Chains A and B, each alone.
Chain A
């Protein structure tokens, strides 16, 4: 059973471009969580999605950021018009439904805005 897969592992964008980060959850997992980690800082929650629904987006910046988890395919975190401050590691985690379940993380996408 493959783990949580994130791609690309490294992404370089110029200021003003769009960044698309993909996350394929573990097989059978219907919950996806996105986190951001700025250099030398902790993990900050961004958004929690279930298939076709956003459950909690309390950590998402109000502008330029969006996330989706369609019925088919990976979850996508999209950052429009990137700025240097968006440079960070973005981690995705997935879990199953129900009580007493653990969430497993991918290896992250390192976004560098130049």
Chain B
């Protein structure tokens, strides 16, 4: 069964606006990762946040993690048309490298 649940399922915004996606999970984790998938392509790793971290930044990305609520959020600031993609959260609960459990994803559409 899938561990992560992203919310919303779909999000449409204008260029320059911020996009926020949320992820909830069920069990204790070692880390939570966000991946992007452009239409018809493989997934690309965006950012990893460990269970002992609360916030992390990478360029226009900001990720937060609240282990007490078993939830994470991904914020993309100043969105561009090129950010149009599906975004997935993935959790790792076991030994490093053993398996990631992915959510169903949020489809982001950024129009110019």
Q: Do A and B bind each other?
A: no
**A residues with CB within 8 A of B:** none
Residues of B bordering A, CB below 8 Å: none
